Amino acid sequence: MTSSHRDDSKALPATRHDEIVSAAVPVFLRFGYKKASMDAVAAAASLSRQAVYLHFPGKEALFGAVVNSLCESTRKIAHAALWRPGLELDQQLLAAFDETMPAESMELLAELLATAKELVPQSVDDIDELVIGEVTDRLKKALGRRHWPVQGVTVEQTAKLLQATSYGLKDQTNSRVEYLSDMESAISLALTAGGLMSPQTRPQQQKTATK
């Protein structure tokens, strides 16, 4: 993915299918997969339950479409944060990982992620690859013509490590504040190892107002 040659402004008109998926996203994020209902999605979309079933045979199919939709929206969010003017590199990275994580409870996010990995594992992999690609692009731009200075470690591997760390922290931390604090430390370590941050520089806790 090339950061300087991307045009997200041209979008096709939304179809009824797209409108249902868009209405379903906040329903799943609010209630989780188990408690979300087709009735709630129909109400959010201002449609009858039967109209929703004309496009999706059941909740599993609708959830799969929601996860697929989140692939592109997640990439756009990550890209915007990673190239946001006025922020240092560490702040951009923290914003990208923060803003690609919905603001709902960690418990709900864990349930949704586990369900997505079970029902649509390829889509989850696609989301990971898109975020990793965006982070890789940003780190390469920061490095310029230099290579990642840690022997045997590539920029792509570093991006994958940060993404894996983000997932792990989401599962292990009890709050968004705790997640951000620990993720900030992980980013600082990675950038210091890559020669992109001075060892004496320690960013202030949660200094980005990401949302």
Q: Report pLDDT digits (tens) over 30-82.
A: 899 999 999 999 999 999 999 999 999 999 999 999 998 888 788 899 999 99
The helix/strand/coil state of 1 is coil
Q: Cα–Cα distance between 148 and 188 in angstroms, integer?
A: 15
Q: Cα–Cα distance between 48 and 108 in angstroms, integer?
A: 27
Give yes or no for a contact between 106 and 174, defined as CB atoms under 8 angstroms apart.
yes
Query: Domain-by-domain residue ranges, the chain?
Result: 71-193
The identity of residue 25, as a single letter, is: V
What is the per-residue DSSP string for 154-188?
-HHHHHHHHHHHHHHHHHH-SSHHHHHHHHHHHHH
Q: Report pLDDT digits (tens) over 111-170.
A: 888 898 899 888 778 888 889 999 999 999 999 999 899 999 999 999 999 999 998 887
- Taking the whole predicted model, whether its pTM rises above 0.85 is answered as no
Distances (CA, A) of 43 to 13, 36, 175: 22, 12, 30
